[in-house]
Structure 1
Amino acid sequence: MSTTETIFAAEPQLRLGVFLGVLVIMALWELLAPRRRRDIPRVIRWSNNLALVVIDAIVLRLTFPILAVGLAIMAQDRGWGLFNFIDAPAWLAVFVSVVVLDLVIYLQHVMFHAVPALWRFHRMHHADLDFDVTTGLRFHPVEIVLSMGIKLALVLVLGPPAIAVLMFEVLLNATAMFNHSNVRLPLIVDRFLRLIVVTPDMHRVHHSILPEETNSNFGFNLPWWDWLLGTYRAQPLAGHEAMTIGIEQFRTPRDQWLDRMLVQPVKEPASGYPINRDKND
């Protein structure tokens, strides 16, 4: 069996194993060293947030005949994309591909905050009234489909090695759960980690109810883009324990149920939070 065939065959087991492993580790960490007090019972939030994971996976499989890793293998076989035209060292192609994929996800995240129609879908992620490991899995199915479409287009243009796409997908899922976790890190550890990865304290600012803080710290994996592009904010104005999580809309426990979350894009106006909003809203 070739390397690409091995990657394709191992992808489901690898992704599921890392997903479950990180989920369990972060959930236990949250129990042992929580950063903030919980306001909504875990059983309500976890059951509904995790149900979204199942729905998102089903929708992706029904929407796309092939996903990012499979398309990378197809592109390699057919010579599509930049790295299938140039003779770059394998290590360089993998490194550049992972970094470029991460940059595009950062820019996509900014776009979902800048375009009101896209914010309608993304705000379901922000409407979580608590901030823990399952928040990193809570995305509207339409946003998941649009995000995969962007990744597939990038794979066609870039022609990244399949191993790079698999590494990125696994890293993105793992770091999203890590940096959404309600865990306490020593300040010196947090400062060091922020040099290489988005930490929970860094990303929690992004989930503040204040629009100026919501529109900061867009990175999911690498922190560099926020520093370089001027969207970095070190700490929330009210402090991590006192800050209010969520958005001004959808603030009842009933809004955290799956049926209500799925229809949030068509409920309430999309004003107040998009980056290009009217400051007088």
Structure 2
Amino acid sequence: MEAFFAHIPPYYRTAFLVGGLLLLWIAEGFIPRFYFRYNRYKHASTNLFFTVTTALINLAFAFIVVKAAQWTGQQRFGLLYWTGVPVWLHTLVALMMLDFIGAYLIHLVQHKVAWMWHFHKIHHIDTNIDVTTALRHHPVESVFRVMALVVAIVTMGIPIWMVMLYQTISALMSQFNHANIKLPPAIDQALSWVIVSPDMHKVHHSRYQPETDSNYANIFSIWDRICGTYVMVPDTTKLRYGLDEYQDTRYHDIGPLLKVPWEKTDVLVKKPI
């Protein structure tokens, strides 16, 4: 595994991500959680645009990520190197801490810090949550996430192959928990004790602020349970998605979405319904 992910070809990672996206896209047609009245192709094209911008940001910062991981390995710097844990435990804890710092924590901060929220809310404006919503992040938000990833790498001491493994799992899990698919309630609830299930994450996209400000995790649901941000909604089919102040149909288009963080508005924070 180490050799594979240390030198994983870009087309392999692309195949994983595109394959997961297509499989879940097809599954949404057969077992949808919600029956949205929307043009799936137009919706997907808007969200796929943000995939390209995220990919470009990640490519631009890839040098920093790689160098940070290489430096920690060469210097044996970071908590996991200092404790001298075996490789299997180093890998497990590394995945968990990358998920905690690089996904959960930075996500929580973006909901609590007003100026950062203005970039993150592009993700929440979507009123038709499906697998492509996982790709919908403002380019500036992508910078926040890369910086959080670097912090996790340096403080914990994580080699590049573990980072590549994490990023692959993280992207696939984000697709899975955003997907508009209906799992048997017992299975979804059982999954939510370990990983973020589709119904668990759908609560996070609710228009009701106490629900929006919950369930921040991406891979491991334990972070929401430990930090007191877990919220369960018995029937997620009653949820309403999006944000109150962004219901205008123009926010279905790329241009208005890119401009959202700089729009002048009297509504500076999210409001409960």
Q: Same fold (TM over 0.5)?
A: yes
Aligned counterpart, 2:94: 97
Deviation of 1:191 (Å): 1.6
Is 1:181 the equivalent of 2:179? Answer: yes
Is 1:253 the equivalent of 2:260? Answer: no
Aligned counterpart, 1:73: 70
Deviation of 1:251 (Å): 1.4
Q: Which amino acid aligns with 1:244?
A: R
Deviation of 1:18 (Å): 1.3
Aligned counterpart, 1:51: 49
Aligned counterpart, 1:37: 35
Q: What are the within-5 Å matches in structure 2 for residues 135-146 of structure 1? A: 135-146=133-144
Aligned counterpart, 2:160: 162
Q: Check conservation: 2:33, 2:181, Cα contact below 8 A.
A: yes
Deviation of 1:170 (Å): 0.9
Is 1:244 the equivalent of 2:240? Answer: yes
For the structure 1 residues 265 and 187, does the alpha-carbon distance in structure 2 shift closer, same or farther, using more than 3 Å as the test?
A: same
Q: Check conservation: 1:133, 1:181, Cα contact below 8 A.
A: yes
Q: How far apart, CA to CA, are the structure 1 residues paired with 2:83 and 2:232? A: 40
Aligned counterpart, 2:169: 171
Q: What are the within-5 Å matches in structure 2 for residues 88-237 of structure 1? A: 88-104=85-101, 105-235=103-233
Q: Check conservation: 1:175, 1:221, Cα contact below 8 A.
A: yes
Q: How far apart, CA to CA, are the structure 2 residues paired with 1:32 and 1:68? A: 39
Aligned length: 270
Unaligned runs of 5+ in 2: none
Unaligned runs of 5+ in 1: none
Q: Check conservation: 1:136, 1:180, Cα contact below 8 A.
A: yes
Q: How far apart, CA to CA, are the structure 2 residues paired with 1:217 and 1:235? A: 11
Question: 2:217 is paired with a residue of what secondary structure?
Answer: coil
Q: Which amino acid aligns with 2:189?
A: R
| Offset from partner CA, 1:75-116 (integer Å, 9 cap, x none) | 313433333444221111111111111111211111100000
Q: How far apart, CA to CA, are the structure 1 residues paired with 2:215 and 2:253? A: 27
For the structure 1 residues 255 and 161, does the alpha-carbon distance in structure 2 shift closer, same or farther, using more than 3 Å as the test?
A: same
Q: How far apart, CA to CA, are the structure 1 residues paired with 2:84 and 2:226? A: 29
